[in-house]
Amino acid sequence: MSKTFFITGGAGFIGSAVIRELIHNTDNHVVNVDKLTYAGNLESLVSVADSERYTFVQADICDAPAMQQVFEQHQPDVVMHLAAESHVDRSIDGPAEFIQTNVVGTAVLLEAARAYWKKLQQQDADKAEAFRFHHISTDEVYGDLEGTDDLFTETTPYAPSSPYSASKASSDHLVRAWQRTYGLPTLVTNCSNNYGPYHFPEKLIPLMILNALAGKPLPVYGDGQQIRDWLYVEDHARALIKVATEGDVGETYNIGGHNEQTNLHVVETICEILDELVPYKVKGNSHHLPLTTHDSHKQLITFVTDRPGHDVRYAIDASKIERELGWKPEETFETGLRKTVEWYLANETWWKRVQDGSYQGQRLGSI
């Protein structure tokens, strides 16, 4: 039976992947609610924009009347809350916006959902029983891992390191409190680092791809030995939909890609793929070094001062979601990264419009 999904932050990287998956591969309806900050890009949703099962509403999750109106007008069966400020460096430079969006915005959304759900209990008991509020979070709430074999599990204590991860940890606690105090049927997922098509170019993998294509330096923090578990965004989208529709109320599910890599290895692998697909030729020779006709993009790698409080290692134990819901990633790090590089090579118009800011000209359906 078709459901209506209310997705916050659906014009963002992960949200747009979820929406494309829902519209392309299910018969469900989607209401995309996005404020359209710098990270929201409607051009990531061109392939679904004309679907009769897709609706876009420009609104801020901190706007309580707007959230109430969305619930009343669209009567969702599932809320998938992805809207968030998510860039660590930006959170260090300006934490207030992260607290406003990630903490206050989540509280506003929870209250709107609770009021809607209470009304459903009086008017449509079956719909109320099936209603779900799925909060999408990050593995960064756990801090970092000291050992080389330890993994984050769903019961790992929270120890956030940055203003971003602290704001997400706060929102996770709010969601669980609303479930325990009010009975709101919530689920929480914590994911590892996502990558893939339509990723905003300030993030590590797209930044390195685009800098390399432009012959610019590839800045790597510290010694580049920070370890992350990389999850292909389309694998993540499938996992999120499975949790939202099949997960148990009150449960937390960690979603990881089983792909631990150092940041330096990620950058070097991108360079190797680009060396194959777009051979690098140095223009000029300021250092008077002997050059071959085919040099490696690796020579663009530049080590820069590490950022404050930089976590050393993240790694997800995703055995629970595989065991209980039957999900596991389809992409390996190698296949996913190659698909990502190839996508950026084939979609120059999309990322150039992000780089020059022209993508921000689209504004539709405001309330």
For 304, the 3-state DSSP assignment is strand
Find how far residue 64's CA is from the centre of its chain.
Answer: 24
Do residues 131 and 296 lie in contact, with contact meaning Cβ atoms separated by under 8 Å?
no
Structural tokens at position 160: 């956030």
Distance CA 19, CA 30 (A): 7
Do residues 218 and 267 lie in contact, with contact meaning Cβ atoms separated by under 8 Å?
yes
Name every residue whose Cβ is closer than 8 Å to that of residue 118 and which is 6 or more positions away in sequence.
none
Name every residue whose Cβ is closer than 8 Å to that of residue 205 and which is 6 or more positions away in sequence.
195, 199, 266, 270, 337, 340
Count other Cβ atoms within 10 Å, centred on residue 189: 25
Q: Which residues are catalytic?
A: 139-140, 164
Please give the angle made by the CA atoms of 264, 270 and 271, to the nearest 5 degrees: 90
Q: Give strand pairing partners of 244.
A: none
**Which value, to the nearest 10 degrees, does the dihedral of the CA atoms of residues 56, 164, 155, 225 take?**
110
Count other Cβ atoms within 10 Å, centred on residue 37: 15
